[in-house]
Chain A
Amino acid sequence: MNLHRVAAIAYKEWREVVRDRLFTIMAFGIPVITLLVLGYGVSLDVERIPFAVLDQDRSELSRDYLHRFIDSRYFDFKGEVSDERALEALLSDSRIRFAIVIPPRFGQRLREGRPVAVQSLVDGVFTYRAQVSKGYVAAINGDFNRRLLLDHLARKRGLSRQRGETMVEPVQLEVRYLYNQAIRSRWSMSSGLIMLVLMFSPPFLTALGVVREKENGSIYNIYASTVSRGEFILGKLLPYVAISAINVMVLWWLVILVFGAPFKGILLFYLPASLVFVVCTTGIGLLVSLLVRTQAAAALLTIVITFIPAMLFSGLLVPIESMNPEARFEAHLFPAIYYLQAVWGVFLKGLGWKGLWQPVAALVAYAAVIWFMGLMLFHKRPGR
């Protein structure tokens, strides 16, 4: 390994990248834009669900009940209608996603101490949103019912508030959220997106950079010279690793500054772990570039094998736990899952080497295999 030659190649590559304006914009722009757009855009904190109401009772109690929805930040009140057909029309036109129908004699029955069935209609198209709405309704109902019950017990049996509560709900589940007390999806999402960005942007740039050299024939300078395969690969990829290393810092800073996520761990873990990951994904780019011949094919193939798995099979959006066994197996074939564990660990859990050496070790092994394959597949005297 002759370091002078490695340096010569790396320096040339760096120069080219920096001079090519479109490429520079892509190298530093795409990561930042992806983080910002997805960080703001992919949010699963469902709020202000548009809804309408059909109140066939119009009693004080029904209004009291409805106001629990109207005043909630989870719902966005769009008005009252006078018959059920109007609700149907609003739902099918997607003007509302949710509706409540309060039957006649709602207040009267409750005051008499009898249960009342209230209809809630949910637009089930987007299953996640429907489930979340259902959860909100259950929570509001539960709260309302408890108050009704306590009032009832106090009135009918003269039980104290505390006594009544024990009687109604002997077991309580107290939930404590660790690492993300307010359960903000923005914290999870923005830090998790570092993984997504570093999963697809380094291989993307690398594949384009290497294929460009193949496409226009300057690769023959390398073929025809005395540079060894290892020297070429190392020199060629160093600038891309460097670009991504800069991005590792930029992303870290943005996640903390723009999305307000906490960084509980230490940089001395985050930086080396991220570097390993970047080396790993850069290697994926190298493999892609050795398999294809045009920049277009390189871009497409990279997206298919990096972006989609990182989005769907990493645990970022869809919990690994929710996957069927095949999908779960597929997920473990990509390095994304290991790095996501490390990123969330260091950002939100404040873990370091002791807690997270395992995923990092997996990434190191992954990188070694990928780079070795790249070295084996690259030939200076190809058959065509």
Chain B
Amino acid sequence: MTWLQRLFTMTVKELKQLSRDPILLVVIAYFFTADIYIAASGIHMDLRQASLAVLDHDHSESSRELIHRFQPPWFELKGELSDTHQARRMLDAGEVLAVIDIPEHFQRDLERGRQVSVQMQVDASNSVLGTLVTTYATQIASRFSQEKAQELHGRLKLETLPAVLDRHRVWYNPNQNDTWFMSISELLTVITMLSLMLPAAAAVREKERGTIEQLVVSPLTPAQILLPKVLSMGLVVLAGTAVSLFLMIVPAFGVPIKGSIPLFFAVTALYVFATAGLGLFIATLSRTLGQVVMLVILVMMPILLLSGAWTPPEAMPEFLRRAMVLSPLSYFIEMAYGILLKGAGVKLLWDSILGLALLGSLLFGFGVWRFRRQFG
């Protein structure tokens, strides 16, 4: 009973201290609201207004028709060029992303039933942009091609031709709304960062201010000193998550919550516990808050990268894909998206939950062990 009472006393103390630190409170509030909003609303992975120039050697009705297909919001026509040197110069300078080159006799050849090639030069120095431009341009060109084929050979009826028609269905986010993914992804990143940073900061602050000595000579055990930091900061992170989810992500971006909310928070709590263990380990390595911040950043990078929050695992080399088991965030992302967007339940997620629980206990145990060694 005294054991629990001491735990409670210390947890209340941590919360009180946090409530008297206005700067930290502002930082926490910023991350759970504005930061997520900016990340979710400012970033789109689809193509918008890619600049484009044209070399039209034909100047025919058909060539103009093709050119006019490249329109906003995807493309923005920067004008017509006179020669290939100019095209190259604009590409070099990054003034345009792509140049379309329509050959002479474009219309005539089309009418004569010859196949014509339209060339497109794409700046691929930014591979993402290059791929996007190509994908959209190919779609536009092939639609144009199909319509021309219809026009020229009206007798080719689509229904009478063999073809595989793609009935493409996107699940969980049917409209491919970027904000759904980005807002949740950023929320998970923020949870990771704060649950690493806050307990570590609370622990190292005791070292910095010397209050740790007073605790070490008291009858508190290392677990009684460390656990309250995790409990209190965990509560803060969960509260922030609730605020962010219900007051911003759901109303502002229309993200549907398909699964069980209690399950989501239970999993989040487990995750916070696991990462906080790592944070405490960092705290034992540092002497000052500054060092904590640096180490957190250093640890955050691989955790984020190996999580699939920025890069889908399908885009990672094999060895990195294997290393994902080491990142607690990879389990959490799986579970969070599973619960929130897919409506997955415990039955489907038990393996991730188990993995996280194992990793969490390991990290937390390690943190306590290091602390015990440091303070006898």
Residue positions of A touching B, CB distance < 8 A: 22, 26, 30, 33-34, 37-38, 40-50, 65, 76, 89, 91-94, 97, 109-131, 134-135, 137-138, 141-142, 144-145, 148-149, 152, 165-181, 183-185, 187-189, 192, 208, 211, 294-300, 303, 307, 312-313, 315, 317-319, 321-324, 326-327, 330, 341, 344-345, 347-349, 351, 355, 358
8 pairs of A and B residues whose beta carbons are closest in the complex:
A295-B290, A41-B305, A296-B289, A124-B173, A173-B141, A299-B293, A124-B170, A180-B124
Contact present for A173 and B125 (CB under 8 Å): no
Residue positions of B touching A, CB distance < 8 A: 23, 27, 39, 41-51, 66, 91-94, 97, 110, 113-132, 134-135, 137-139, 141-142, 144-146, 148-149, 152-153, 156, 158-174, 176-178, 180-181, 201, 288-294, 297-298, 301-302, 305-306, 308, 310-312, 314-317, 320, 334, 337-338, 341-344, 348-349
The main secondary structure of chain A at its interface with chain B is helix
Contact present for A321 and B48 (CB under 8 Å): yes
Task: Give B286 Cβ to nearest chain A Cβ, in Å.
Answer: 9
Residue from the set A42, A50, A170, A172 with the largest chain B CB neighbour count within 10 Å:
A170
Nearest A residue to B291, CB-CB: A22
Task: Give B133 Cβ to nearest chain A Cβ, in Å.
Answer: 9
B172: contacting residue among A109, A123, A355, CB under 8 A: A123
Can you offer 5 A-B residue contacts whose CB atoms are under 8 A?
A: A47-B314, A120-B168, A122-B169, A131-B45, A185-B127
In the complex with contacts A170-B149, A176-B122, A94-B338 CB distance below 8 A: yes
Contact present for B168 and A128 (CB under 8 Å): no
Nearest B residue to A116, CB-CB: B164
In the complex with contacts A294-B290, A296-B290, A173-B118 CB distance below 8 A: yes
Give every chain B residue within 8 A of A318 (Cβ-Cβ). Answer: 43-45
Give every chain B residue within 8 A of A322 (Cβ-Cβ). Answer: 43-48
Contact present for B161 and A121 (CB under 8 Å): no
In the complex, A344→B43 CA distance in Å?
Answer: 22
Contact present for B342 and A115 (CB under 8 Å): no
Contact present for B42 and A326 (CB under 8 Å): yes
Contact present for A44 and B344 (CB under 8 Å): no
A312: contacting residue among B43, B142, B166, CB under 8 A: B43
Contact present for B161 and A113 (CB under 8 Å): yes
Contact present for B316 and A43 (CB under 8 Å): yes
B348: contacting residue among A93, A121, A178, A295, CB under 8 A: A93
Give every chain A residue within 8 A of B168 (Cβ-Cβ). Answer: 120, 122, 134, 137
Give every chain B residue within 8 A of A297 (Cβ-Cβ). Answer: 23
Contact present for B125 and A188 (CB under 8 Å): yes
In the complex, A116→B49 CA distance in Å?
Answer: 35
